[in-house]
Structure 1
């Protein structure tokens, strides 16, 4: 679901993208080097940071400040991705003020999953080519066998981010390129990622008045938080295109995994989202856990969100199919 390349529209690539014109994707060795650098920094390094935090448990187990920092930063960066990057910027399923847009773009950047315009371009490409040639993180393009499915799972969950064709943002995100405040946020992407580590580290250091608090805040509020959030978001690419339930006929092989919804802000109603990509609600029903949508509704109650798009009951019923029919359609 996510892109891990951050410099799509700035400096060296402004002219290259213009020359690319109508090209759908760009393949360039320099782009791939940047992608690999981002992969090592924000996908591999948090894994080792999490292992370090676990190794230090006997010496310095996390206290209340560390756990609160981890949870708070997980919520902030997670809502930045779910309500901001995904539902607001990629699908325009609701509207808000420029100030709220800026804050959500910064919060999403703290997740370390790419700048907002890059992420949106990648996600729109995924919807356009879902589980077909051109979908860079589908787990279903490696063959029908068990070993093929395993390779597909590993690719979709992790290894696709090492290097991949890069969607031309002039084609996939021209609306965001016209928003100067979003371009400005994107250009400072690394600053926001760093802030996501500095804030919990300083908070824990001040609360505990120790250098140990600085270290544990950095590890638990930064590394562990980023690693946990990434596992949830990557699961949309892997698990949610391999296992789970289907209620609608879609061109892709997306699935719903309801039990994961509280862990990834309602994003695991992934099949619902592919059936109704313009909906701010992924659960499509009040009784389904969808924290990303609840947050948008809260903003609406505060007067900070409007034009919140949700399909009617009639629209949902008209597209609903039986379980057997959905499997039959999916196998075609």
Structure 2
């Protein structure tokens, strides 16, 4: 995965002869299933018993912080799409926050994202990759299973895949909650632990799936990607909660852009944070749609639209 990667490419995936995004089967993923199921069980059983306003405040603060710094900016816009450059120490810090979200390790996140991204650009792909099944089935698949393609592509994670810190996070992504749990226990006891870890992870992981499901099923569209079998939709009500990630139609149109909320009124806290980093001298080479004029050749308008700046 080169630092000079194509701003709209699927940068880690390597198409090999015969690879196919359609043929495959959905199988149980015990590690993620037990993790997600355990967080849900703790949320349903323990969270109501251990509620306090301090615990709820810890939940809100940590959910917003990890989703903004970690998932949106660290994982998605920096590590996966390389939509801006920053010092390595800052990148690693943001990726650590992304690991704290509790979805998985950074290398798994890259492979999972890029497989789906590549598959959705093909004329056809498996229902798992398109979120095409009814909501309950899709939720079961995404939170408790994985897709085993008969003829999968290969991956080359480059510098990121060789990074010893990221490899460490990949092996210990569940255990990364432990230091935070100790701090929360010292501050507010078991209530803060349950709300700051279990409820936060459950809401973040389930919310990520739920918004992703909607973003490929229904909602406003400005752009259509030519020849892509799966098109994206915006989910306006979730824009603030997802730090701007819910403008998913914009993202499919300009996947390498650091700015996802492209039009007036489209909230994008992730891009606002990147702008803050830029003003502080901690981010540079920030990619925007105005630097992707050739991208228009792969798009058609689903509504009246102009190329955003």
Same fold (TM over 0.5): yes
Residue 109 of structure 2: aligned partner: 119
C-alpha separation in 2, matches of 1:177 and 1:236: 28
1:203: how far off? 2.4
Gap runs ≥5 in structure 2: 1-15
**Aligned 8 A contact 2:47 2:195 in 1:** no
Structure of higher RCO (CA pairs closer than 8 Å, 6+ residues apart): 2
Aligned counterpart for 1:36 among listed residues 21, 25, 30: 30
Match of 2:303 in 1: 323
2:43 counterpart residue number: 50
1:25-68 superposed Cα distances (whole Å, 9 cap, x missing partner)? 9x9xxxx67x3122221x11222222124531xxx5412x2122
Whole-Å Cα distance in 2 between the matches of residues 244 and 175 of structure 1? 37
Given that 1:158 and 1:234 are in contact with CA atoms closer than 8 Å, whether structure 2 keeps it comes out as no
1:169 deviation in Å?
9.2
CA contact (8 A) 1:91 1:278 kept: yes
Q: CA deviation at 1:235?
A: 2.1
Between 1:114-123 and 1:177-186, the stretch displaced more is 177-186
How many Å separate the matches in 1 of 2:193 and 2:90? 26
Q: What secondary structure, in the 3-state scheme, does the structure 2 residue paired with 1:277 have?
A: coil
Per-residue deviation, 1:261: 0.5
Q: Please, what TM-score do these two structures have when normalized by structure 1?
A: 0.74
CA shift for structure 1 position 181: 3.1
Q: What's the CA shift for 1:223?
A: 1.2
Deviations 1:151-196 (A, max 9, x none): 4322333423423236879615334213333223323323213334
In the alignment, the residues of structure 2 paired with residue 203 and residue 277 of structure 1 have an alpha-carbon distance, to the nearest angstrom, of 40
Offset, 1:299: 1.5
Partner of 1:14: none
Give the aligned partner of residue 212 of structure 2. Answer: 237
State the alpha-carbon separation in 2 of the partners of residues 54 and 179 from structure 1: 37
SS at match of 1:96: coil
Give the TM-score, by structure 2 length.
Answer: 0.79
Please name the residue that 1:84 is paired with. Answer: 74
1:97 is aligned to 87
Question: Conserved in 1, the CA contact under 8 Å of 2:184 and 2:196?
Answer: yes
C-alpha displacement at 1:78, in angstroms? Answer: 0.8
Alpha-carbon contact 1:137-1:237 (below 8 Å) kept: no
**2:163 alignment partner, one of 179, 197, 200:** 179
Query: 1:196 and 1:105 mapped to 2: Cα distance?
Result: 15
Higher normalized strand content (fraction of residues): 2
1:301 maps to which residue? 279
Specify which of 46, 56, 70 is matched with residue 67 of structure 1.
56
Residue 284 of structure 1, CA deviation: 1.3
Residues 279-290 of structure 1: matches in 2 within 5 Å? 279-285=257-263, 287-290=265-268
Secondary structure, in 3 states, of the residue corresponding to 1:165? strand
The aligned residue for residue 138 of structure 1 is: 130
Deviations 1:231-278 (A, max 9, x none): 321123311111111111122221001111011111110111111110
Higher helix share: 1
Q: Where in structure 2 are the equivalents of 1:265-280 lying within 5 Å?
A: 265-280=243-258
Structure-2 separation of matches of 1:322 and 1:184 = 44
**5+ residue gaps, structure 1:** 1-20, 141-150, 205-213, 326-332
Partner residue of 2:144?
162
**Shift, 1:198, TM fit:** 3.4
